[in-house]
């Protein structure tokens, strides 16, 4: 049960990290993120089950596929939307335009998947069906795997942000994009990659989860609500907050569901709102606005 | 983008009065109840769209308009069903309830404009839907059924007007819509509206000029949410049943869409046009339910990419299409016909 | 008693000291210049005084009242106006609408009366419209009143910024680089206008890099460097102050 909570928590962390990356990097609130998660699961389904590739390869391909999807979306849609903004455009207007564009994409992706793949839930046999047994404690290996991969990705992101030139550029751009373009940083590529990597994260999250939950078109909806909830608790745009918030919410929902069933949802929300009254910035505060 | 809305030509005023006259006379001419129903839904949509616009005029983006729509609906339903109140009393009470909850919620969240506000309103919407579905007292996922019709209104010469056919509902909603529009119009043209738009364009500058950001944003939030409550109350007694799903995130997104489609800078007419199109278009296209969101999504992306100003915003860029120049054009055509010379 | 008293004002951003223990007095009806190399903290000083940034420590007193930590709109209501370095205007509104909005604080009639279009409210609106034109004429922007603010050339945007600040009828006006980027003709006009404003009773604090403007306008000058005040006195004294010269080493005079 604990591991389950951890797994769900890390899952949320991945998704929210992706959204945060997109938000901080490109100032876009990506409502289509849930659909990217779902498509990552589908990609895994196809590469693993249909094409019979090794699961690691399938994972990587799913991630890459979603990276491509993200990059294409930015190229085709968001890039144009953002190019129109002048320094004088109010922030609310920019936010709305890009958020609405993402909503449109969400609808297209959602319905497209429904039409293309049908409503049938597809199951994937568990890759690690074993249980580790420590005395009386039984840990499902599958969930541990999720946690492990998530941690690996977090490590990868950390290295990316703090050790590579690209990472530094991304951080700089998220701080002040105008100055960066004056300094010669190619902001377009930074935006493109921020969006792409953010989507890749969601895609991988979907892929590793695919064997655990079944792959269906509904996956996107619930996850985005959870992701936004986590963002609220952890602080909008804060990476550390995503980590902490994701784990907190993941553990809470896992335990809550165990004990309270459906009602746990409502209580969770109420808890968040009450929490916000006392700490409007979330656990670690708003990274920037 | 104007800080004061003014009638540009008297032609505009005449045009609107014409539309109003048409709307008032329509039920006498149209026999199809379905069409009346569509119009009623449009009216509701306009009110909800104006909710979003009012908040956007302050620079706030809400994804929770449907939440207050729901609060109005549920409050009104419960007051009439459980407390035996008349609809005519339940309506203002439901509006008040929506306003009070908006005040409580708003006083907390209005301090965090921007992304935080969008996310919180979205979550609040989800909370309301979950609560409505999860609590038996609120009807659960099956919703509330058997909501009573409004009590008949005694009219002086006509006799009591009973709410059995759709027509009385039509006039009621039209009246509510017009009332709300007038109130909103008065607000936008006042010092309050100017303060809102100043906050939207540059909050820092507005503050330096003595505008209290928090107070004006909260005011917009409460007023807009109360209007949504009005629409909700009406909806409950029109449909006579309400289910939680009707008030979910999708609805809030569609509400946003009305404003974006019509034109974000047009706080009254934008949602009107947007709601009308979004309500009637699916009827004309007769597409399968599965494809509809796909088309709506594609439409949305197209609009954002190519027509960010919405319909009215795009038209505004072409002064040659405005009503004033239309009559000028007609004059030109008349002259041309009379003189046989080339049209310039 | 000074109109504005600043004591021990400090503002830290993380470990970086933008302002450090600044003491400053501004006396009524004077023109005080604040100069210093780039990054010395001049704009931060303005931001803290006007309430857009909370100070880390220190106190600000205006007309005897402690205004430290008040909100920007509360401070504006007490009579401090300011302009911004970059043109912060309501870009998508016309010049007239910009200034009209700036008169926000002057409405005497309560809101509900305006709501109902009562005659007294309409009369007040008329009055304000006239005052908008007065301000525009004072700054020479009247012919441009229907232009969108974002389409104005740089110099006019600056002037509009001053109009907005003037509309709030300030007792103390903080001008952030009013003549930067202007040609000599524009600069002379602006200098004249600033003198006229002071003669009208407004106390003025100017942050500027243009030394000629500073020297000709200011009664007194304060010099900031790395967030600290390193000198204060008459233009003569400042011109010959060794520390100031060192701080500006390499800068044009």
Kindly report the CA angle at C120 between C116 and C123, in degrees rounded to 5?
110
Nearest residue to A100 via CA among B255, B313, C117: B255
Residue A286: the pLDDT is 43
**A205-219, B228-242, B244-258: which is most confident:** B228-242
> Is the Cα torsion angle A161, A166, A168, A169 positive or negative in sign?
negative
- Report CB contact under 8 Å: B195, C107: no
Interchain contact, B127 vs A269, CB within 8 Å: yes
| Range scoring the smallest mean pLDDT among A85-99, B69-83, C57-71, C205-219 | A85-99
Helix (H, G, I), strand (E, B) or coil at C185: helix
What is the C-alpha separation between A23 and A236, in angstroms, rounded? 9
B287 and A CB contact within 8 Å: no
Contacts of C92 in chain A (CB under 8 A): 88
* pLDDT tens digit sequence for A160-194: 888 888 788 888 877 777 677 777 777 788 888 88
Chain B contact for A80 (CB, 8 A cutoff) = yes
DSSP strand E in B136-282: where? 153-155, 159-161
CA distances from C110 to B209, C35, C157 (A): 18, 43, 32
Give the best-scoring range by mean pLDDT among B17-26, B146-155, B222-231, C220-229: B222-231
Is 80 exceeded by the pLDDT of residue B118?
A: yes
Q: Which helix (H) or strand (E) holds C97?
A: helix C95-102
**Cβ–Cβ under 8 Å, residues B120 and B112:** yes
Which range is least confidently modeled, B279-293, B305-319, C25-39, C223-237? B279-293
Q: Inform me whether the pLDDT recorded for B16 exceeds 90.
A: no
Which residues partner with C229 through β-bridges? C224
Q: Are strands A131-134 and A137-140 parallel, antiparallel or unpaired?
A: antiparallel
Per-residue pLDDT at B344: 40
pLDDT value for B343: 42
Is C167's Cβ below 8 Å from some Cβ in B?
A: yes
pTM of the model: 0.86
pLDDT above 80 (res A142): no
Count the alpha carbons within 13 Å of B187 in the hemisphere toward its beta carbon: 21
Q: Which of B164-173, B190-199, B225-234, C244-253 has the lowest mean pLDDT?
A: C244-253
Average pLDDT over residues C14-24: 86
- Match 């060192």 to its residue by tokens: C246
Please report residues of A whose CB lies closer than 8 A to that of C98: none
Which subunits count as partners of chain B given 3+ CB pairs below 8 Å? Answer: A, C
Tell me: pLDDT of B4 over 60: no
What is d(CA C111, CA A139) in angstroms, rounded to the nearest whole number? 65
Low-confidence winner among A21-30, A137-146, B76-85, B258-267 (lowest mean pLDDT): A137-146
- State whether A96 and B56 contact (CB < 8 Å): yes
Judged by a CB distance cut-off of 8 A, whether residue C100 touches chain B is: yes
* A253 vs C188: which has the higher pLDDT: C188
What is the rounded distance in angstroms from the CA atom of residue B265 to the CA atom of residue C198?
Answer: 40
Complex prediction ipTM = 0.85
Interface membership of C72 toward B (CB under 8 Å):
yes
Alpha helices in C103-118 (DSSP H): 111-115
- The number of residues making up chain B comes to 344
- Mean pLDDT, chain A, rounded, equals 78
Nearest CA in chain C to A88: C91
3-state DSSP helix/strand/coil percent for chain B, to nearest 5? 75, 0, 25
Tokens 């019709």 -> residue: B149
Q: Quick one: fold of C1-79+171-253?
A: Rossmann fold (3.40.50)
Q: What angle do CA A241, A43, B296 make, to 5 degrees?
A: 80
Report which of residues C151 and A117 the model is more confident about.
C151
Which residues of chain A have a CB within 8 Å of the CB of C85?
A: none
Cβ–Cβ contact B182 with C under 8 A? no
Q: What is the chain A residue with the closest CA to C151?
A: A88
Helix (H) or strand (E) holding C140: none
Q: Average of pLDDT values for B90-95?
A: 93
Token pair listed for B314: 């795009």
The verdict on C127 touching B (C-beta cutoff 8 Å) is: no
Most C CBs within 10 Å, among A85, A86, A88, A94, to test the C interface: A88
pLDDT at B7: 42
Average pLDDT, chain B: 84
pLDDT of B217 > 60? The answer is yes
- In 3D space, the residue among C187, C198, C174 whose CA is nearest the CA of residue C62 turns out to be C174
Whether B202 contacts chain C with CB within 8 A: yes
Q: Give the nearest partner residue to C104 out of B187, B195, B202, using CB atoms.
A: B195
Mean pLDDT of chain C: 85
Listed by start position, the domains of chain A span: 2-86+139-221
- Is C216 an interface residue toward B (CB < 8 Å)? no
pLDDT at residue B40 tops 50: yes
Q: How far is C48 from chain A (nearest CA, A)?
A: 20
User: Which chain B residue has the Cα nearest residue C109?
Assistant: B191
User: What distance in Å separates the CA atoms of residue B70 and residue B87, rounded to the nearest whole number?
Assistant: 16
Nearest chain A residue (CA) to B131: A266
Q: Name the segment(s) of chain C with CATH classification 3.40.50.300.
A: 1-79+171-253
Residue in chain A closest to C87 (alpha carbons) equals: A88
Share of chain A above pLDDT 70, in %: 82
Beta-strand runs (E) in chain B: 153-155, 159-161
Task: Test B191 with C91 for CB contact under 8 angstroms.
Answer: no
User: Quick check: B6 contacting C, CB < 8 Å?
Assistant: no
Lowest mean pLDDT among A78-87, A96-105, C70-79: A78-87
How many CA atoms within 13 Å lie on the side-chain side of B28?
5
């Amino acid at each position: 049960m604990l591991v389950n909570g951890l797994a769900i928590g890390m899952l949320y962390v991945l998704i929210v990290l992706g959204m945060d990356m997109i938000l901080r990097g490109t100032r876009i609130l990506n409502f289509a993120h849930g659909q990217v998660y779902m498509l990552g699961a589908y990609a895994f389904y196809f590469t693993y089950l249909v094409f019979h590739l090794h699961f690691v390869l399938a994972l990587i391909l799913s991630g890459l596929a979603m990276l491509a999807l993200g990059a294409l979306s930015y190229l085709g849609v968001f890039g144009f939307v953002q190019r129109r903004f002048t320094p004088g455009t109010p922030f609310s207007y920019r936010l709305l335009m890009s958020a609405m564009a993402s909503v449109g994409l969400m609808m297209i992706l959602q319905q497209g998947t429904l039409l293309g793949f049908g409503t049938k839930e597809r199951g994937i046999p568990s890759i690690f069906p074993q249980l580790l047994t420590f005395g009386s404690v039984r840990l499902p290996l599958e969930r541990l795997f999720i946690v492990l991969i998530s941690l690996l990705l977090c490590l990868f992101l950390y290295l990316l942000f703090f050790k590579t030139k690209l990472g530094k550029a991304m951080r700089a751009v998220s701080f002040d994009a105008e100055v960066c373009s004056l300094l010669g940083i190619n902001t377009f590529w930074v935006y493109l990659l921020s969006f792409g990597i953010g989507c890749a994260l969601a895609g991988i999250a979907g892929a590793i989860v695919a064997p655990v939950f079944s792959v269906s078109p509904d996956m996107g909806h619930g996850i985005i609500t959870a992701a936004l909830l986590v963002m609220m608790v952890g602080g909008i745009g804060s990476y550390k907050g995503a980590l902490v918030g994701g784990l907190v919410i993941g553990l809470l929902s896992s335990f809550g569901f165990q004990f309270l069933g459906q009602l746990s949802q409502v209580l969770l929300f109420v808890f968040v709102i009450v929490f916000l009254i006392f700490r409007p910035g979330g656990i670690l505060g708003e990274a920037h606005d | 983008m104007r800080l004061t809305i003014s009638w540009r030509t008297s032609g505009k005023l005449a045009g609107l009065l014409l539309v109003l006259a048409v709307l008032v006379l329509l039920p006498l001419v149209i026999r199809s109840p379905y069409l009346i129903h569509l119009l009623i839904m449009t009216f509701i949509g306009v009110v909800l769209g104006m909710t979003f616009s009012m908040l956007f005029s302050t620079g706030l983006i809400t994804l929770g308009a449907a939440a207050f729509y729901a609060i109005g609906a549920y409050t009104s339903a419960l007051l009439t069903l459980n407390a035996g109140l008349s609809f005519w009393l339940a309506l203002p009470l439901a509006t008040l309830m929506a306003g009070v909850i908006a005040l409580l919620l708003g006083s907390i969240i209005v301090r965090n404009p921007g992304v935080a506000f969008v996310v919180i309103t979205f979550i609040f919407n989800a909370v309301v839907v979950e609560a409505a579905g999860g609590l038996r007292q609120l009807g659960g996922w099956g919703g509330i059924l058997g909501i009573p019709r409004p009590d008949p209104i005694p009219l002086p010469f006509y006799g009591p007007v009973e709410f059995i056919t759709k027509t009385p509902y039509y006039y009621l909603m039209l009246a509510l819509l017009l009332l709300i529009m007038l109130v909103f119009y008065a607000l936008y043209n006042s010092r309050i509206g100017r303060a809102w738009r100043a906050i939207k364009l540059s909050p820092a500058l507005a503050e330096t000029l003595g505008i209290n950001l928090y107070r004006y944003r909260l005011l917009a939030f409460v007023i807009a949410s109360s209007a949504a409550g009005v629409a909700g109350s009406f909806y409950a007694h029109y449909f006579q049943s309400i289910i939680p799903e009707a008030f979910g995130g999708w609805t809030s997104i569609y509400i946003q869409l009305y404003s974006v489609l019509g034109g974000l800078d047009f706080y009254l007419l934008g949602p009107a046009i947007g709601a009308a199109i979004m309500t009637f278009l699916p009827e004309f296209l007769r597409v399968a339910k599965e494809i509809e969101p796909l088309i709506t999504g594609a439409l949305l992306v197209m609009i954002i990419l190519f027509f960010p100003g919405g319909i009215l915003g795009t038209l505004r860029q072409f002064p040659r299409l405005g009503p004033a120049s239309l009559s000028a054009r007609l004059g030109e055509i008349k002259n041309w016909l009379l003189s046989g010379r080339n049209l310039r | 008693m000074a109109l504005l008293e600043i004591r021990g004002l400090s503002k830290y951003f993380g470990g970086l000291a933008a302002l450090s223990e600044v003491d400053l007095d501004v006396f009524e009806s004077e023109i005080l210049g604040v100069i210093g190399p780039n990054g010395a903290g001049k704009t931060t000083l303005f931001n803290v005084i006007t309430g857009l940034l909370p100070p880390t420590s220190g106190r600000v007193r205006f007309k005897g009242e402690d205004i430290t930590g008040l909100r920007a709109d509360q401070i504006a209501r007490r009579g401090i106006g300011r302009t911004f370095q970059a043109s912060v205007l309501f870009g998508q509104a016309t010049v007239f609408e910009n200034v009209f909005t700036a008169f926000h604080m002057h409405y005497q009639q309560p809101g509900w009366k305006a709501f109902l279009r009562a005659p007294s409210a309409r009369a007040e609106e008329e009055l304000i419209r006239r005052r908008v034109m007065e301000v525009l004429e004072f700054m020479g922007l009247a012919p441009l009143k229907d232009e969108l603010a974002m389409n104005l050339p740089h110099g006019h945007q600056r002037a509009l910024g001053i109009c907005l600040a003037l509309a709030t009828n300030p007792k103390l006006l903080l001008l952030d680089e009013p003549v930067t980027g202007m040609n000599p003709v524009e600069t002379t006009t602006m200098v004249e206008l600033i003198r006229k404003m002071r003669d009208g009773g407004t106390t003025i604090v100017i942050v500027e890099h243009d030394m000629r403007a500073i020297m000709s306008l200011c009664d007194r000058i304060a010099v900031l460097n790395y967030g600290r005040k390193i000198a204060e006195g008459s233009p003569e004294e400042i011109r010959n102050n060794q520390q100031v010269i060192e701080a500006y080493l390499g800068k044009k005079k």
